[in-house]
Structure 1
């Protein structure tokens, strides 16, 4: 009785393969030759000295005010750019245009907004103020792209330094970035959390706020002390300046606190004069020259310390943000308008123009020095902010202020900005400045 081999079919198949495989291979040669003729391969023209870029970031641990978690200082990380070169543009001149597309975020979904600027949560009934975009005359500002911003600050520390307008701008930025990546609050310190830091673990990026309303050393007025500030104009405020070696980008914003009564000193404690100090027997010298000297001291400290450490830093000065009180701020002054001013309807003049001029001039003077390790630009938002009287909290600095029989003559906030609101535009322009820096269009002097 015969048996059937389980390998019979396999053996026949193997014989056929051996017979026809060489002919199949030979037939592929002409096809391959035709492919190379019509679609030749392109190889990079590398010399023996060409090298691949180093894409491994170097990290440096550090501390910030009372030993918080360490910061990371950046190096070039080899990322690919995902944006085009922004056009050369004068962002200061333009108009507000009504658009259907609203802001990236709302006040009920962002956990970093200071309560007094959360206009939606506090019951502001109109929403038209959310649907205006700034259109410069020469170009168009792209909508804020949180992905690009986070790419640009990967492994970096960005510090906002100044008064409550610095905090207002910072919180706007955090809310827009949080639409892509949620930040972790990793450090708080000081009354009303005036020193805070957030970390974006997705990009190892740190964003901080440092309270310093004068940038120079000062003693702020208090309810149980003198009713005036004391400023030492030639001494930088070390609460932020001591961390300069750990900052990669710094945004300065000051102005409104210089309007308060103050006495001004030099390093040797000699009194230079004062602003609105009846009964103190000091010479009234106003605050314009004081603002200039304080900003000059701060910019010099940044430049000198980074140059001494041979570390580059990018700096931005946000110009003065006008208020819109109709009447005295402490006497039921309000900001009831619900639409932006038309172009030419409100002129930039008086104190608003003078404060802006000083800040822009000091930025230009510092840039002329041409230091290699200090790149600086003015974020000139004064005029575009002047045209937005509708963007402040007004009475909605308080929750539902006009209901339940509350007197309509409630205190208004016509200085800070609702979030979301016009201040988001500041960070859109900031991003355009950063993109130009990244592309080398604002070159450091060699």
Structure 2
């Protein structure tokens, strides 16, 4: 009985070494040809398209760099991409949001609701030649701006870009309008409660102090030596600033510096020296950026400043004489060149940003960048409201004259690409910031 009790044990003891001798070569063979991949972090085990939602952080302690970025994007972020050099390519994915349900689009840019019959203008994306421009991820944008205030300041192009961004973000989070003031919603503020992100718009078509023309005043009055305090007074409460300026400088105006008249643009009824608007725009932008540097230079909070460059109009003919923008396709590379006034306006804006960046080098908490959208916008003559700035303009047949808007952009439309590039620059900056570069 005792002898039988020990037989299975003896057999197992003899079998075990032979089992190990058999398994060990197989294991070595497996590891040699198929090395074991160990995850670097928990996020590596998630699907690539899984959004990572961060909990709230204070504005003085931003969230770590978002792990939602792919390794390919992170490598691309190390070298800034030239987003100005590229082509519009057809994109079957279509727009980033539904313009008919967005709810924040200015009526004049809501081309679909106003009956625009063609939809091909919605199916193009900008493809830089030297890198990829990823599709806008609203979750990443909200993560990076958690507990921050982004302000769009400037003319109606600033509002156009703002409303594009609100529509994109609305696809994942609901914006709550928390402030509204001024005629035609010129001053508004929204809060995205999901990430405590505040986004506001300030109407300031010159950035500097100015008095707009009216029924009793045939020209604008600009004071080039001081900024417009309608937005300047709130500068200390802003974490990110997007400036847009240019088109209003084409209008008749008298220019002041202090109490002295420098001259005027297109005011023959006044006894003032005629001066061009290029130098005036440069002086206004210089005053704006210099004031930002001075006021935020001693601040302990970070401030990121973008200047969206001049966006060309596409009138065929004079804007006030039945000028229209009838094209329904983008220009191809080389078909249209940035030149003349469009190039002058863009170039001086980029130059002033570059000068301000040099002056800001000693300010560690302030970054500046030109959001250079002039060329890619030039190549989209099909993206404007045209006659569809008004509801169903041809409902009663073709009219001899219909007012066209060939300055602003349909929403959805090419202006969405401006915000795609904006996000890429923010991601690159955040990546550098938290890597200690």
TM-score normalised to structure 2 length: 0.84
How far does residue 443 in structure 1 lie from its aligned partner after superposition? 10
Superposed, which structure 2 residues align to 1:164-183 within 5 Å?
A: 164-183=156-175
How far does residue 415 in structure 1 lie from its aligned partner after superposition? 0.1
Q: 1:345 to 1:56 in 2, by over 3 A?
A: closer
Q: 2:98 is matched with which residue? A: 106
Residues 82, 148 of structure 1: 8 Å contact kept: yes
TM-score normalised to structure 1 length: 0.82
- Indicate which of 209, 231, 244 corresponds to 2:201: 209
Greater helix content:
2
1:118 aligns with 2:110: yes
Q: Distance in 2 between matches of 1:121 and 1:81?
A: 38
How far does residue 76 in structure 1 lie from its aligned partner after superposition? 1.9
Q: Distance in 2 between matches of 1:327 and 1:339?
A: 19
Q: Distance in 2 between matches of 1:121 and 1:200?
A: 26
Q: Distance in 1 between matches of 2:312 and 2:146?
A: 33
> Greater Rg, structure 1 or structure 2?
1
Q: Secondary structure at the match of 1:252?
A: strand
- Indicate which of 285, 304, 309 corresponds to 2:275: 285
Residues 74, 155 of structure 1: 8 Å contact kept: no
Q: Distance in 2 between matches of 1:170 and 1:115?
A: 14
Q: 1:337 is matched with which residue? A: 327
Q: 1:408 to 1:117 in 2, by over 3 A?
A: farther
Q: 1:157 is matched with which residue? A: 149
Worse-superposed segment, 119-128 or 401-410: 401-410
Residues 212, 221 of structure 2: 8 Å contact kept: yes
Q: 2:346 is matched with which residue? A: 356
Residues 357, 367 of structure 2: 8 Å contact kept: yes
Unpaired stretches in structure 1, ≥5 consecutive residues: 1-37, 45-54, 59-72
How far does residue 442 in structure 1 lie from its aligned partner after superposition? 11
How far does residue 128 in structure 1 lie from its aligned partner after superposition? 0.4
Q: Distance in 1 between matches of 2:178 and 2:68?
A: 29
1:327 aligns with 2:317: yes
Q: Distance in 1 between matches of 2:327 and 2:124?
A: 14
1:297 aligns with 2:283: no
Residues 60, 301 of structure 2: 8 Å contact kept: no
How far does residue 75 in structure 1 lie from its aligned partner after superposition? 3.0
Q: Secondary structure at the match of 2:190?
A: strand
Q: 1:76 is matched with which residue? A: 62
In the TM superposition, what whole-angstrom CA distance separates every residue of 1:24-77 from its partner, at most 9, and x where no partner exists?
xxxxxxxxxxxxxx99xxxx9xxxxxxxxxx9744xxxxxxxxxxxxxx55324
Residues 56, 147 of structure 2: 8 Å contact kept: no
Q: Distance in 1 between matches of 2:102 and 2:171?
A: 9
How far does residue 342 in structure 1 lie from its aligned partner after superposition? 0.8
> RMSD of aligned C-alpha atoms?
2.7
How far does residue 309 in structure 1 lie from its aligned partner after superposition? 2.6
Q: 1:311 to 1:441 in 2, by over 3 A?
A: closer
Unpaired stretches in structure 2, ≥5 consecutive residues: 1-30, 42-54
Q: Secondary structure at the match of 2:131?
A: coil
Q: Distance in 2 between matches of 1:378 and 1:207?
A: 20
